[in-house]
Amino acid sequence: MQFTETKLKGAFIIDLEIKADDRGFFARTFCAKEFEQYGLKPVVAQCNLSFNHKAGTLRGMHFQTPPACETKLVRCTRGAVYDVIIDLRPDSPTYLQHIGVELSADNRRALYVPELFAHGYQTLTDDAEVVYQVTEFYTPGCEGGIRYSDPAVGIEWPLPVSVISDKDASWKLLEAVPV
């Protein structure tokens, strides 16, 4: 695997090192030892799968607070998504900054999302599928979110939002979110 740290300290784009032959290819998608070498949490408590019917579907911006903070390893296994993370660590030099990266079945790229980052994505294709490996169990009492369209963050989504849950559409603006 090739680890590239983003401008948000602790957040990495992970590309595969593909070993190809006449049959196709082989690549490692997760290795606890390699994650530890970069100071990343190699723990997996849950694996989640999200399927989305329509391009423009938006899911996010989600996070979990203490004592159930979680890291995520996110990969798109079918179609393509625009994946966004926001640094919510108050002591971070990149506090409230965000990045977006395209994850797709074609580029086979993953995004490592550290604790106390909000995370969400918008589907770029119909029938997009996303797999998450997370370090903590889903804990409803520790769940939080930020509105995807918060002007204080200024995320530029690539498509108009065509589908969003009522819950995600009604997250509060950042100024009202205790992190």
Where residue 168 falls (left for φ over 0; alpha for ψ -120 to 50; beta otherwise) is alpha
Give DSSP secondary structure letters for 100-147. EEEEETTT--EEEE-TTEEEEEEESSTTEEEEEEESS---GGGEEE--
Which is catalytic among the residues 62, 82, 119, 148? 62
Number of other residues whose CB lies within 10 A of the CB of residue 140: 7
Q: State the residue for tokens 């408590």.
A: 45
53 is catalytic: no
Identify the bridge partners of residue 73 per DSSP, sorted by sequence position. 112, 133
Which is catalytic among the residues 82, 132, 138, 148? 132
82 is catalytic: no
For the chain, the C-alpha Rg in angstroms (whole number) is 16
Q: Which residues are catalytic?
A: 62, 132
